[in-house]
Structure 1
């Protein structure tokens, strides 16, 4: 019961904003269609993994919420670079942030 509550709160404050932010950034950067498609695949696989981690590690969940809210952590940093669908998206976003 508590894990479900934590998962809902984490999804509301982290996963949903990450998805919206990444989609907005890709749109603003006029990213290639392949990258946008990969972003959708990445977010479908990463979201549940982030929620699972948050329910198992409350300290990580809390610090992640604060880090994202303050801008200390970029949403792209939460994408799993080891996930084959996320690696190109994370690289694209991080390189674009470095250039800006």
Structure 2
């Protein structure tokens, strides 16, 4: 019961902002809609792992939710840099950081 609540809070305050941030970066840089599709593929591969971690590590979950929701943490850091489905999305954020 508590793990479901924590997973729900994590999705609301960490995963949803991550998807919104990806879409915002893609639109701001004029990237094709393919980036959004790739981000959805990336998130669909990462969400089960992140939800499992939320149920196993409450402290990580709470600090991640607080960090992402306050802007202290970058939601892209939740993505696995070794996951090929996430490479394009992570690259999008790296390029956006270099340009600013």
SS of corresponding position for 2:85: coil
Q: Which runs of 5+ in 2 are unaligned?
A: none
SS state at 2:76 partner? helix
Bigger CA drift: 29-38 or 55-64? 29-38
CA RMSD, 1 decimal = 1.6
Structure 1 length-normalised TM: 0.86
Partner Cα separation in structure 2 for residue 2 and residue 70 of structure 1: 23
User: Alignment length, in residue pairs?
Assistant: 100
Greater RCO, 1 or 2 (C-alpha within 8 Å, sep 6+):
2
Contact 1:67–1:73 (8 Å) recurs in 2 = yes
Deviation at 1:11, TM superposition (A): 1.0
Asked whether the 8 Å contact 1:15–1:50 carries over to 2, the reply is no
Name the residue aligned to 2:76.
76
Q: Indicate how the Cα distance of structure 1 residues 16 and 41 shifts in structure 2: closer, same or farther if over 3 A, else same.
A: same
**Contact (CA 8 Å) 1:6, 1:55: kept in 2 or not?**
yes
Structure 1 residue ranges without an equivalent (≥5): none
